[in-house]
A and B are shown apart, each in its own frame.
Chain A
Amino acid sequence: MTGSDAPSRLLIEIAGLGVALNCEDEEFARLVAGAYSSFLALPGTPVACEFAVHIAPPRGTDPDEDVCVSLADGKWQIRRGDFEAEFDPRARQGWVRYTANPYSVDTVLRIVHTLLAADAGGFLVHAAGAILNGRGLILAGASGAGKTTMCRLAPPDAVLLSDEICYVMRHGEEYLVHGTPFAGELGIPGVKVSAPAAVLYLLARGNQHRLVPLKPAEAARQLLRCILFFAEDAELAGKVFNSACEFVRRTPVYRLEFRPEPGVWELLR
């Protein structure tokens, strides 16, 4: 099944994992397909999980309710004011009730991928990402740290993976950093490509351009603060913790202090 051969069925592929959305509303499916056009799956992409998508107000939720992800009877219950969803990780199936809002789709995809990634030894991280000279660079930081600024300053030969969220997955003995469709302030989705994760930079604004190597424990602490994780589940939290520790054990990590000037990218070559 491809992402485009059935308007009501979409297969959205991020980091090699296909999430199928079987939409009962074709107009909504077209809207979502447009928003994720560059991440619609190619033939042969494995389906990691399937969701039946219903356009209906969520039941019994406060419209301003924050996202809540919990495990009950082996199924993930995901709720926010504008949607509710259930995901059975063993059957790899679930359902979603949305208001007809594409931003809700974005949130559900982010949450589902945090669950899939955690089980697969990976994680989603608040980070800009780029491929430069074949090397995957991860530029992580909280809101305001400079992710979008670094993307705006990027040289023409850098392939930007995302200005907001990158996907890090383990493949054998190496980690790959993948682009995602999750956009930040640039409002431009990332691209569906990946590269070996060569370096993790933790962004910090400063008065000069400077790289400060971090010891692995400090690197892990700072990386964990940037990892997306919503689930109230100790076992899964432990998996993410181990993945972050393993990643910093294998990957050089620096604090990148920078002024918002293009010259900062010369440090990253």
Chain B
Amino acid sequence: MSELYVARHPAAAWRRLEDEVIVMAAQESWLFTLNEVAAEIWEAADGRTPLASIVRDRICEKFEVDFEQAYRDAEELLRALAERGIVLLSETPLEAGAP
């Protein structure tokens, strides 16, 4: 499995509100609500930390879930968000917030 890196798109406005995160894709004004697990991934998406590390350190420990399943779910979510233009995915590290 190749390494995967994720960064929040710099044009996406976002706020944590209690245990959820709301994200607005500025260009289309789409709104997304990320649940507690997705919010953890979102906040850790600095473009430099491998997704596997994010899942292992912030999801598996906190939510007591299996790594393989959690990683598959996270990747599926992030690919969907990347299609909407609010995250960037790469097999090499990304500058934080780089378009």
Contact = CB atoms under 8 A, between A and B. Distances in A.
Contacts of B15: 220, 241-242, 245
A64 to B, nearest CB: 24
A217 B18 contact: yes
Interface in B15-36: 15, 17-18, 20-22, 24, 26-27, 29, 31, 33
Interface string A211-222: 000011110110
A215 B33 CA distance: 11
Interface residues of A, number: 15
Contacts of B33: 217-218, 221
Interface string A195-209: 000000000000000
A220 B17 contact: yes
A217 B15 CA distance: 9
Interface centre among B11, B15, B18, B31 (most CB of A within 10 A): B15
Contacts of B11: 234
A242 B13 contact: yes
Interface residues of B, number: 14
Interface centre among A220, A224, A241 (most CB of B within 10 A): A241
Contacts of A224: 24, 31
Given A217-B33, A218-B33, A221-B31, A234 B17 contact: no
Contact of A237 (B13, B18, B20, B22): B13
A262 interface: no
A112 B29 CA distance: 20
A69 to B, nearest CB: 13
A237 B26 contact: yes
A234 B26 contact: yes
Given A221-B31, A245-B22, A238 B13 contact: yes
Nearest to A236: B26
Contacts of A249: 17
A218 B31 CA distance: 10
Interface centre among A217, A220, A237 (most CB of B within 10 A): A217
19 contacts: A215-B18, A215-B20, A216-B20, A217-B17, A217-B18, A217-B21, A218-B33, A221-B33, A224-B24, A224-B31, A234-B26, A234-B27, A237-B24, A237-B26, A237-B29, A238-B24, A241-B15, A242-B15, A245-B22
Interface of A: 215-218, 220-221, 224, 234, 237-238, 241-242, 245, 248-249
